[in-house]
Amino acid sequence: MSQPFQAEPPPPDLDIVSRVVTGNIVVSVTGEVDTEAAPKLHAVVTTAIDDTGSACVLDLTTVDFLDSAGLATLITADAYAETHGKSLRIAVDSNSPVIRPIEITGLDIVLKLYHTVDDALHASNRPPRSER
């Protein structure tokens, strides 16, 4: 007997909220970005990139765990934005669980990182965190 289709709930340790701020979409993430959560984050970020006029800001300042699947999601989302002529700006502040793996892997040179969401939103005339 077949069971009715049920949408998969988001991973229990992940909360993602999207909002529009000054014409850009800000995706705020709280919790753990791991192997289980990465596909959900990827889907939300690529949708936000599709829906924004120019920039999507990914707020990771309240993420308390980021593993290799999360790093891969950042790389693929950044490439996706670039191929669509848009910008993915990532707010990480000094959030050690997030910035440490980004710096260890050298992705701080590749990704557009900012200290705050506000910095990322007003980045048109300012260099990203990695260039300061």
CA distance 93 to 118: 11
Global pTM? Answer: 0.84
pLDDT at 11: 58
Is pLDDT larger for residue 8 or for residue 25? 25
Average pLDDT over residues 46-63: 94
Q: Is the pLDDT of residue 5 over 70?
A: no
82-120 pLDDT, tens per residue? 999 999 999 998 877 899 999 999 999 999 999 999 999
Q: Cα(51)–Cα(81) distance, rounded to whole angstroms?
A: 11
Give the whole-angstrom CA distance, residue 44 versus residue 18: 8
Query: What's the pLDDT at 114?
Result: 95
**Gap between the Cα atoms of 31 and 98, Å rounded:** 11
Around 23, how many Cα atoms within 13 Å sit in the side-chain half-sphere? 4
